[in-house]
Structure 1
Amino acid sequence: MLVSTATYTTILASALVLFASSNLTPAAEAHSWMDCVNWKFHSRTNPDFSDKGGYCRGYARRYPKDLNFGTLDDASPSRHYQQAGNPNTALPCSDRRHGKDIGSDETMGDPVSSAYGGKYGEMATIRSGETLCVRWPAKNHAEGNEDNTIVQINLIKSRNSQDATQAELLRNTIARLPYKNCSRGSGTDKKPCGGCFKMPARSPGLYLLQWRWMLNPGEWYTSCADIQIEDDKRGNKRRL
């Protein structure tokens, strides 16, 4: 059967569109989150945030520890949580109900320890004055054409019944870390990034730490973790 030139052109154009959409479309960019709140390097002289370069001794709330690094954008819902409304008064930690992107469940446990252990990663335990290192996946946002935006680390003593408000957390910013501080990793999506800072003086107890990152102006993503701060004197520990 003969096919006219016009028909052949239409068929060819349709085939090219189908091929492009199925084979040439780049992977969609995802948005980041904190996985580890207490990263330990194997080497102090060659700090490396990849799984080969260290290990985690404290995770974000309800973080599934057995999944591969940087893969929770495929979860339902995805791990990343984007705050909705006024970024200064928005919900600080995802509850799976609120937010522009609702994110995985990061509500406080009752007791707090129930959000850690078992299928979740362990809670971080540190002392005031120690260096704390946090980690996050690049998720295609640490390339040369991307701005090196800032990650806020906010720390406040948690309440007995509920988390602090975002406004309270913003009054307690203890570190600002460059987002693109990354180690070599698996491509641009799962490239491991992170930053370190010294813990300020705090009385022994349980505290809420928030990782907060602005991708675009007014577009904030957060992750939350509970950390146990112990007495500086070894052997004299207090747990809440």
Structure 2
Amino acid sequence: MIFSTLSKASLALIAASILLILTTPTEAHSWADCVDWRFKNPKNKSWNDSNGACFGYARRFPVKAKPFADYDEDWPNRHYEQSHKSPSPDYAPACSDGKSGETDGADERMAKPWTAAYNGRDFRKRRTGAFTTKKIGDTMCIRWPAKNHAVPKERDLSEVFVSFSKPNPKKDPTQKQFLSNIVARLNYKNCTTGGSTDRWPCGGCFPISKKKFTPGHYVGQWRWRLNDNEWYTSCFDVLVKK
């Protein structure tokens, strides 16, 4: 056998190389896993499944189709990366059309009526999640998987922008229009740690304030900056009540 001709040092080097391959985390890219996360105990703001529940999702999100943090392996995947061209991501489609971008992602365009993107079935006949309903004065929390990008050595540029349309839009805002109404900037690394760094649940919260919202339907965008010209988005709808 070939291994019988190798020295102990060579065998040790091969074993160490195999172990490194098996244990080195693969860097993937994130998405909004839940856009209306509610903690069971507000004093224990853990993003783990055991400490809260999701009451609202991105458009056409197939709930329970995959375990948490595995929707990058779904078809279609959820991590839409905006095009680096034309001339920058700020001019790319704000919500994935399922065919554009550096990574095309799932179709998250506005449905007609907009509620048709929820509480139904996707094109693969999988149950889709509910849309988000909030009242003026509520707090809204969004959750996402770390995907190995929340470790201390990761650059601090990584952050999440949450933007909204004007009330009752007839179509999705452009990316430039979203940029004109950024409601929150969240720390991407605000995670519940433990176990695989790929699967850390992370999130952030912000108020549905009367300064920013009036009753009506809004289109929201979760937008994550990984690098200077590398942006990922998830789009969702929120019904704001008095």
Deviation at 1:206, TM superposition (A): 1.0
Unpaired segments ≥5 residues, structure 1 = 233-240
- Name the structure 1 match of 2:98: 96
- Name the structure 1 match of 2:72: 73
Distance between the aligned counterparts of 1:205 and 1:196, measured in 2?
Answer: 20
Alignment map for 1:221-236 (pairs within 5 Å): 221-230=232-241, 232=242
- Name the structure 1 match of 2:208: 199
- Name the structure 2 match of 1:172: 181
Distance between the aligned counterparts of 1:38 and 1:154, measured in 2?
Answer: 15
SS in 2 for 1:176: strand
Deviation at 1:150, TM superposition (A): 1.5
Deviation at 1:111, TM superposition (A): 1.6
- TM-score, normalised to structure 1, is 0.85
- Name the structure 1 match of 2:18: 20
Distance between the aligned counterparts of 2:238 and 2:222, measured in 1?
Answer: 13
- TM-score, normalised to structure 2, is 0.84
**Identity across matched positions, percent:** 44
Amino acid at match of 1:225: F
Larger Rg: 1
- Name the structure 2 match of 1:156: 165
SS in 2 for 1:209: strand
SS in 2 for 1:20: helix
CA gap of 1:21–1:92, structure 2 versus 1, over 3 A, is: farther
- Name the structure 2 match of 1:216: 227
Unpaired segments ≥5 residues, structure 2 = 121-126
| Conserved? CA contact 2:26–2:148, under 8 Å | no
Distance between the aligned counterparts of 1:139 and 1:21, measured in 2?
Answer: 21
Aligned residues: 224
Structure 1 segments, 4+ long, off by >3 Å, are: 19-25
